[in-house]
């Protein structure tokens, strides 16, 4: 290995003697490698579907940044990032295949509203206030708690709203003898 390439990949132990060019090239190389890791490792990672997706993002960013700044040897740092992606992929695969394992790493959804009734104990356990629920209702186009059949705090932290079906009442009005009957539909 040439001396320049060796200095690029394995700077001295302090890591703070990288030139601007070395840091820029390392950043570009880490970026390309990280895209490859995420692309081939796990498509769900960027969706941040569960706590373990978020944790991977934090840890992967921390580990790979050490390769950019020269705090750690370059290739072992990239290998550590690849191991994290493989572990994430394996855990996701196990959670997908064995239902008993999924809640351990992904969590569980929590019912917050049932048939228009706010479940206050579940709201407190979820550390949610009524303003949080009202925001989710507005985003779902719901104006009243009575319209909500169920509301869930999902595993990814979002609140999903399932509305009650609207009832359509039909009223027939006869105006005069010989005149056509008028039908009026009222949604409640």
| pLDDT tens sequence across 83-136 | 998 998 898 889 889 989 888 887 889 999 999 999 999 999 999 999 999 999
Least Cα distance to 16 among 78, 81, 72, 75 occurs for 72
pLDDT of the residue at 17: 76
**φ, ψ at 85 (rounded to 5°):** -65, -40
pLDDT of the residue at 42: 57
CA 21 to chain centre: 36
pLDDT of the residue at 135: 94
Between CA 157 and CA 32 the distance in angstroms is 30
Q: What CATH class does 108-188 carry?
A: alpha beta
pLDDT of the residue at 3: 66
Domain ranges of the chain: 3-102, 108-188
pLDDT of the residue at 131: 94
pLDDT of the residue at 169: 74
- CA quadruple 43, 48, 54, 58: dihedral sign: positive
pLDDT of the residue at 53: 79
| Residue 29: count of CB within 10 angstroms of its CB | 16
Tokens of 72: 């750690």
**Which residues of the chain, if any, have pLDDT below 50?**
none
């Amino acid at each position: 290995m040439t001396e320049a390439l060796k200095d690029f990949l394995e700077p001295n132990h302090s890591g703070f003697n990288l030139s601007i060019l070395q840091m820029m090239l390392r950043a570009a190389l880490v970026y390309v490698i990280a895209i490859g890791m995420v692309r081939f490792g796990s498509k769900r990672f960027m969706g941040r579907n569960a706590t373990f997706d978020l944790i991977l993002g934090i840890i992967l960013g921390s580990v790979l940044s050490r390769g950019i700044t020269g705090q750690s040897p370059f290739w072992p740092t990239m290998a550590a990032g690849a191991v994290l992606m493989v572990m994430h992929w394996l855990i996701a695969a196990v959670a997908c295949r064995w239902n008993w394992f999924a809640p351990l790493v992904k969590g569980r959804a929590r019912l917050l509203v049932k048939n228009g009734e706010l479940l206050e104990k579940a709201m407190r356990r979820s550390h949610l206030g009524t303003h949080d629920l009202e925001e989710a209702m507005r985003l779902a186009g719901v104006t009243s708690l009575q319209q909500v059949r169920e509301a869930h705090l999902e595993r990814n932290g979002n609140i999903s709203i399932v509305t009650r079906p609207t009832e359509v009442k039909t009223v027939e009005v006869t105006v005069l003898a010989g005149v056509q009957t008028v039908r009026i539909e009222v949604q409640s």
